[in-house]
């Protein structure tokens, strides 16, 4: 059943209605620039092969040439993969963590395919040249060529990481296991680096090419060290995050209040998230992403967590006074992406977390902001009292859809959404919830006439 929450339709409206309405320029330019830079790097790598290949003759030449191209692209692409996950602020804010993760996932498949293709093509090409079998040539390459054995280990590591990231296997792994297995990608990159310089025809005796390759790998390594390791330590020393309260919001759902100093220095926006590392037994070794569930206060942040696994379950036992390391803020799921006056927020389950913060803070006149909240039962409506207070104060629309689909029907069809939200195509829509729900909502919004660029979705599924 879909119901309207009570509200007196009076509000204190933010005077700056245009502050978050420049999203088309910012959210479009940075992804385009990033893709262009990646493409330009790939073209430069191909140019390096072209400049060092006067001619390609015979089957062995074609096989070896293809092997060299795939090897160069694999060596370049692995640095792109690492850079995408380096948590560079301009990318995290301008592209969005979920889109970066999708790029990383897609790029990972390319890297594995390129690395495996390079290995097979080079072995085959050299075998044709030497007139030997592929098994014999494989042994010869690994035992006599410098750094080839290291490169073989690198390929096996990449294949292993690719296997655990496959859709059929990934859901069976704990987030922490999957996350830490990906650190083998660093080892694979280091092993492959020396092989390219030692055995690549494009680099032997070519000092400028060698220096460019060094600059690429060292540059990415420095970015990784700075943003993934040194920045969290610097933030910990500056802000001194500490747990102050742990409150049960609903069955299996808790909110953690975290105090800190100089939070204004972080320039946090509602809708963003941090990667939190709680310095207590059993939790200190894992940094997990959780969104802010309230607009940031001057000296306090709040996150809300549902029991979905060992880590989130362990947070219910956190005690006040526990020190916290926080990496962030990350994500572009903010008011900056907004391009229209009217805004619709669609939440499912604990996906209400970042939308609760936006519902409180995004500039909107009475009647211009609506929240549609889907839950299985009334007990699963997290922040119900808070949401109704915000709705009454700001004059916003608040709709609940509670109950099994067999009883309440599907609110996420084009017809249902259009009936619930007049002038739906004129809205910016923010969606956050379980994968199954968002997989229905986004196509329904498109079918109802909402352009893709005005549908904002950020997923933290690993």
How do residues 23-61 score in pLDDT, each as one tens digit?
544 457 889 999 999 999 999 999 999 998 888 989 999
- Strands 369-375 vs 397-402: parallel, antiparallel or unpaired: parallel
Q: What whole-number distance in Å separates Cα of residue 359 and Cα of residue 364?
A: 9
User: Within 10 A of 140 (CB to CB), how many other CB atoms are there?
Assistant: 16
**Which residues share a beta bridge with 301?**
258
Q: What whole-number distance in Å separates Cα of residue 67 and Cα of residue 49?
A: 11
Q: Which pLDDT score, from 0 to 100, does residue 41 have? A: 96
Q: How many DSSP H helices and E strands does the chain contain?
A: 16, 12
Which is it for the CA torsion 316, 322, 326, 332, positive or negative?
Answer: positive
Q: If you count them, how many residues does the chain have?
A: 462
Q: Which pLDDT score, from 0 to 100, does residue 292 have? A: 95
Given CATH 3.40.50.80, say whether it is the number of domain 2-20+339-457: yes
Q: Which pLDDT score, from 0 to 100, does residue 73 have? A: 96
Percent residues over pLDDT 90 in the chain: 60
Q: Which pLDDT score, from 0 to 100, does residue 25 have? A: 42
For residue 441, CA distances in Å to 23, 26, 362, 381, 418 come to 21, 25, 22, 19, 12
pTM over 0.85: no
Contact by Cβ (8 Å): 165, 105? yes
Contact by Cβ (8 Å): 343, 428? yes
Q: Which pLDDT score, from 0 to 100, does residue 279 have? A: 92
Q: Which pLDDT score, from 0 to 100, does residue 268 have? A: 92
Residue 54 DSSP class: S
Q: What whole-number distance in Å separates Cα of residue 62 and Cα of residue 390?
A: 67
Using 50 as the pLDDT threshold, list the residues of the chain that sit under it: 6-20, 22, 24-26, 462
Q: Which pLDDT score, from 0 to 100, does residue 174 have? A: 74
240-330 architecture in CATH?
Beta Barrel (2.40)
Tens-digit pLDDT profile for residues 279-300? 998 788 888 889 999 999 889 9
What are the sequence ranges of the domains in the chain? Answer: 2-20+339-457, 24-232, 240-330
Q: What whole-number distance in Å separates Cα of residue 3 and Cα of residue 410?
A: 14
Extract the tokens encoding 226: 């700075």
Contact by Cβ (8 Å): 366, 395? yes
Q: What whole-number distance in Å separates Cα of residue 71 and Cα of residue 445?
A: 42
């Amino acid at each position: 059943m879909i119901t309207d929450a009570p509200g007196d339709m009076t509000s204190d409206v933010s005077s700056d209605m245009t502050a978050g309405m420049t999203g088309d320029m910012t959210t479009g330019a940075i992804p385009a620039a990033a893709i262009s830079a990646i493409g330009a790097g790939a073209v430069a790598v191909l140019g390096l092969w072209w400049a060092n290949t006067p001619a390609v003759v015979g089957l062995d030449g074609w096989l070896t040439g293809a092997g060299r191209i795939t090897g160069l692209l694999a060596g370049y692409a692995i640095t792109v993969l690492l850079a995408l996950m380096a948590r560079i602020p301009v990318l995290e804010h301008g592209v969005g963590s979920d889109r970066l993760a999708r790029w990383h996932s897609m790029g990972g498949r390319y890297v594995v395919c390129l690395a495996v293709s390079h290995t097979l093509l080079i072995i085959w090409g050299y075998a044709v040249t030497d007139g030997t079998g592929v098994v014999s040539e494989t042994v010869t390459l690994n035992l006599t060529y410098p750094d080839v054995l290291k490169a073989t280990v690198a390929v096996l590591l990449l294949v292993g990481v690719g296997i655990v990231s496959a859709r059929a296997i990934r859901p069976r792994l704990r987030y922490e296991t999957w996350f830490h297995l990906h650190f083998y990608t660093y080892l694979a990159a280091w092993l492959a680096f020396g092989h390219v310089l030692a055995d690549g025809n494009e680099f032997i005796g070519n000092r400028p090419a060698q220096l460019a390759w060094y600059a690429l790998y060292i540059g990415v390594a420095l970015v990784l060290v700075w943003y993934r390791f040194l920045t969290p330590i610097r933030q910990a020393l500056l802000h001194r995050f500490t747990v102050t309260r742990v409150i049960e919001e609903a069955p299996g759902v808790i909110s953690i209040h975290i105090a800190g100093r100089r939070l204004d220095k972080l320039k946090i926006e509602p809708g963003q998230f941090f990667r939190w590392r709680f310095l207590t037994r059993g939790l200190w070794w894992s940094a997990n992403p959780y969104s802010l569930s309230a607009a940031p206060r001057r000296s306090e942040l709040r996150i809300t967590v549902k029991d979905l696994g060992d880590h989130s379950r362990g947070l219910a036992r956190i005690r006040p006074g526990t020190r916290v390391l926080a990496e962030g803020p990350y994500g572009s799921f903010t008011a900056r992406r907004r391009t229209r006056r009217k805004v619709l927020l669609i939440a499912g389950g604990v996906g209400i977390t970042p939308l609760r913060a936006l519902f409180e803070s995004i500039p909107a006149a009475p009647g211009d902001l609506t929240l549609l909240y889907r839950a299985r039962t009334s007990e699963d409506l997290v922040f119900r009292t808070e949401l109704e207070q915000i709705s009454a104060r700001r004059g916003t629309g608040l709709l609940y859809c509670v109950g099994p689909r067999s009883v309440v029907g599907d609110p996420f069809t084009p017809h249902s959404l259009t009936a619930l939200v007049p002038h739906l195509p004129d809205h910016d829509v923010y969606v956050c919830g379980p994968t199954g729900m968002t997989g229905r909502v986004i196509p329904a919004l498109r079918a109802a006439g909402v352009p893709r660029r005005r549908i904002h979705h950020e997923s933290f599924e690993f």
